[in-house]
Structure 1
Amino acid sequence: MATIEECRSALDTLSANLAKADGAVRDATALDRSLSCRITDLDITFVGRLAGGSIQDVVTVPGTPEQKAQIRLAMTGDVLVQLVGGELHFAKAWGAGRVRVQAGLRDLLKLRSLL
């Protein structure tokens, strides 16, 4: 089972990768939206903002935050680490129910290039 530190490191890596992206991926990350990533097996949620092409102002909160983010992800810590490490493809994990995504339709359409 991945630790909180490993999950935070994976999110930092993801943010750095998004900041270096170009083309359609860069366009998808140009959103300015609140973002949460719930780590189900650790009962924590990373809350931040997708803005300027990266994930910013990330804080860790216990459980599920009262205020819902505009883009919400949920998965286990191991899945997060595997996704960011390139060991698991997002579309396969999402199709298998290992990742849950909740967002508005426009955001989902914009984010599809990340998948």
Structure 2
Amino acid sequence: MEKIHAIESDGRIITGIEVFRRLYEAVGLGFVYSLTKNPAVEKAANAVYDVWAKYRTQITGREAMEVILQRRAAEAAGKGDAGSLCGEEGTDGAAACEVPVGARGGADKQ
């Protein structure tokens, strides 16, 4: 999730802004990313994208990848439901439900 990747037909892996440029070229919209063919512009665009990729879940208010992966692991193990990371109830009747600190992204406000 830190960097976009694509695999070309020859097996070569490309990353970053080059992926977007190639995708847009493939659908006839290459002009959108054509400036990134300039190495200096591509380097700057990759720097901006790296910041966006790091904080996109917080910026967009979505759950952090850690939370999503924990939920999927719990579902695969047959624990909890699709909407909960909580485990079985403890002896006090409360569900055990821990979310890593900062893992909720921008959704910490309730």
TM-score by length of 2: 0.23
TM-score by length of 1: 0.23
Larger radius of gyration, structure 1 or 2? 2
Query: Hey, which of these two has a bigger chunk of strand by percent?
Result: 1
Query: Hey, which of these two has a bigger chunk of helix by percent?
Result: 2
